[in-house]
A = this chain, B = another copy of it.
Amino acid sequence: MKCRKCQRKAVINMRQHKLSLCAEHYTDWIPDQTQRFIEKYAMFGRQDRILVAVSGGKDSLALWDVLTKLGYEADGLYIGLGIDGGIGYSDQSKSFCEIFAAARGLNLQVYDVADRLGAPIPLAADSVHRGRGRPCSVCGMSRRHIMNAAAVDGGYDVLATGHNLDDEAATLFGNTLHWSLEHLARQGPVLEARTGLVRKVKPFCRFYERETAAYALLRSIDYVYDECPHSEGAKSIYYKQTLNKMEDERPGTKLHFYLSYLAAKGQGAFAETADPGAERLHPCPTCGQPTTAPGECAFCRTWDQVRERSALLL
Instruction: List the interface of chain A (C-beta within 8 A of B).
Output: 176-181, 184, 238, 242, 245-246, 249, 253, 256-257, 260-261, 263-264, 267-273
Contact = CB atoms under 8 A, between A and B. Distances in A.
Q: Which of A177, A238, A260, A270 gathers the greatest number of chain B CB atoms within 10 Å?
A: A177
Q: Which of A242, A257, A260, A269 gathers the greatest number of chain B CB atoms within 10 Å?
A: A269
Contact of A272 (B245, B261, B271): B271
B263 A179 contact: yes
Given A179-B261, A268-B273, 18 more contacts: A176-B176, A177-B253, A177-B256, A177-B257, A177-B260, A178-B260, A179-B257, A181-B264, A181-B269, A238-B249, A242-B242, A242-B245, A242-B246, A264-B273, A269-B272, A269-B273, A271-B272, A272-B272
Contacts of A260: 177-180
Nearest to A260: B179
Nearest to A264: B179
Q: Which of A180, A257, A273 gathers the greatest number of chain B CB atoms within 10 Å?
A: A273
A311 to B, nearest CB: 39
Contacts of A253: 177
Contacts of A267: 181, 273
A50 to B, nearest CB: 30
Contacts of A177: 253, 256-257, 260
Contacts of A178: 256-257, 260
A275 to B, nearest CB: 9
A245 B238 CA distance: 11
6 contacts: A179-B263, A184-B269, A242-B245, A268-B272, A269-B272, A271-B272
A263 B260 CA distance: 22
Q: Which of A179, A180, A256, A261 gathers the greatest number of chain B CB atoms within 10 Å?
A: A179
A146 to B, nearest CB: 32
Nearest to A263: B179
A136 to B, nearest CB: 18
A185 to B, nearest CB: 9
Contacts of A261: 179
Nearest to A265: B179
Contacts of A180: 260
Contacts of A242: 242, 245-246
A238 B267 CA distance: 28
